[in-house]
Amino acid sequence: MDAGWRTDAARIEAAARALLGPAATPSAILLTHVHPDHSGSAGALAAAWGCPILIHPAEAPFAQGDFPAMQRDVGPLDRWVILPAMRAIGERRRAAILARDSLAGLTRELATDGTLPGMDGWTWLPTPGHTLGHVSFVRTTDRVVLTGDALVTLKVNTAAGILAGRNGLSGPPWYTTWDRRAAGDSIRAIAALEPAVVGPGHGRPIAGRDVAAALRAFAARARVGRA
């Protein structure tokens, strides 16, 4: 699940070999969303493993480098910094950058029935807000939820939290979040699952009998961008 930055491919391949054995390869790459710190190595890994990249259909414009579509559904950092810079560099250079990072021809849409190929017992759950097509992955038998950036365990919404690397439940970074109200609804949807284990996109996994109660309390008070 997820593929880190563009420079992380070798480390991810090594981890896959350690887990699966040298002769086995993953049958698919699952992305919670298409941001460069989560999808950066997806293209290289898909080519190496000969497997598809599964995404929510709403993430397709970002995966394919569709610049006009990308300008519609973005967070504040994109709107204030990234997109103006991309416009300023000119169409030719922008097209080259987008083509370099494009996943066009490598992606497939997640199954509409929520199932995941080769992952019995797992389903995907829409958790939009951080991005339009953000999803989380759920194993109901033991209440494991892989939340991507819908819910993280680092305090990413305060300067002190970022600089000190403080642990703690947090909503997605407000500055890269498309819709903060939808993000809050997604936190409450995750809390309703009563997770026993949360694997976030940023921060350490948390597990134990107290996780569900802590998440319920957090969801009740959470205001994305302030939690």
Fold of the CATH domain 122-221: Metallo-beta-lactamase; Chain A (3.60.15)
pLDDT in tens, 190-215: 999 999 999 999 999 999 999 999 99
Cα(80)–Cα(70) distance, rounded to whole angstroms?
14
Give me the pLDDT at residue 161, please.
85
pLDDT recorded at residue 223: 62
pLDDT score for 185: 95
Q: What pLDDT is recorded for position 111?
A: 96
**Would you give the distance in Å from CA 8 to the centre of its chain?**
15
Residue stretches of the chain with pLDDT short of 50: none
pTM of the complete model beyond 0.85: yes
Domain locations along the chain: 6-109, 122-221
**pLDDT for the residue 160:** 84
